[in-house]
Each structure stands twice: as structure tokens, then as C-alpha cells.
Amino acid sequence: MPDDPAAGTAELRSGGVSVDARFNQPLNSIQVSGTPTLFLVDAKGSIEHSWVGALTPQGEKDVIATLEK
């Protein structure tokens, strides 16, 4: 998230998202050209999957299915 760490964490928590860790990174430095962008990152920090744009109901199901694998 490009926001101030405290502000970003508060925003996530206000939406009911549990936050264990987060980092600040300029979006262009990780090739994000638009938001929202969602990354699934493995334990080594490699991007395993990404979703760009607002998720449709089917897109949300796809994200959940990917996370449950």
C-alpha cells in the first residue's frame, strides 16, 4: 500500500481485514499501473497470482478458491 503505514492498517482493519504485516512500496516500482490490484505472495515474496481491477462476484470466488488450494 502506498499510504502511511498507520493509515493503511487502519483502513484495512475498518474493512474487517486482519493485518499481520504490510509494507509501503511505490506502486510504479512493482509495476502496478492501476488500483485495485491484489497480489497473492508466497513465503519467499514471489508473486504467485495477481488480480487487477474491481472483482466481480465470480472474481471474488476465484480469489477464494485460489487461497483455499
Residues 6+ apart with CB under 8 A from 22: 1, 5, 8, 9, 12
For residue 52, the surrounding DSSP H or E stretch is: strand 47-52
pTM comes to: 0.65
Q: What is the pLDDT of residues 11-55, one digit of tens each?
A: 888 988 887 777 777 888 888 888 888 889 888 989 899 999 999
Query: Is it the case that residue 64 has pLDDT exceeding 90?
Result: yes
Confidence class of residue 58 from pLDDT cuts 50, 70 and 90?
Answer: very high
Where in the chain are the domains? 1-30, 32-69
